[in-house]
Amino acid sequence: MEVIYPPNQLPFDSSTKKVFLAGSIDMGKTEDWQQKIIDNLTSKDIIIFNPRRKNWDSSWTQSIENQLFKEQVTWELDGLELADIIVYYFAPTSQAPITLLELGLYAKSKKIVVCCPDGFWRKGNIDIVCERYNIPMKNNLDDLIQYLQKI
């Protein structure tokens, strides 16, 4: 397994299965659920794109003019496009507006799996979108990890 973090170069020409870990981060305030997934998939022959930037600075202005912010968002958009599987995790303690946006972008892609535990403020909306587009839905991280171990 290989894990790639922003702003490192993404493998545009790799034939290895690529998994993007999309979901609640809240500028680093949400639990590091990505690491829990990584720790449980170490034996898989995959590349994981983890957008949780190690040197994130929450004081960055979220503007197209801010080159560091633009680099982060562009990296994430490129990673979502390149991924064979996109994992969405909606933490119950988060509103996750960007994750909701990204789910909308890829709901019809047939390459996503969603984990939305009870308590997420828009769980009903997530449930309906997943039902409509036949998206695999998991209710907790352990079930999500079990699902990913079978890929």
pLDDT tens readout for residues 91-128: 999 999 999 999 999 999 999 999 999 999 999 999 99
Cβ(76)–Cβ(51) under 8 Å?
Answer: yes
Domain boundary assignment for the chain = 2-53+61-148
Instruction: State whether CATH 3.40.50.450 applies to domain 2-53+61-148.
Output: yes
Does this model's pTM top 0.85?
yes
User: Helix, strand or coil for residue 20?
Assistant: strand
User: Helix, strand or coil for residue 108?
Assistant: coil
CA-based nearest residue to 98, from 129, 137, 72, 130: 72
pLDDT at 26 over 80: no
Residue 82: other Cβ atoms inside 10 A = 16
Q: Is the four-CA dihedral 146, 149, 133, 81 of positive or negative sign? A: positive
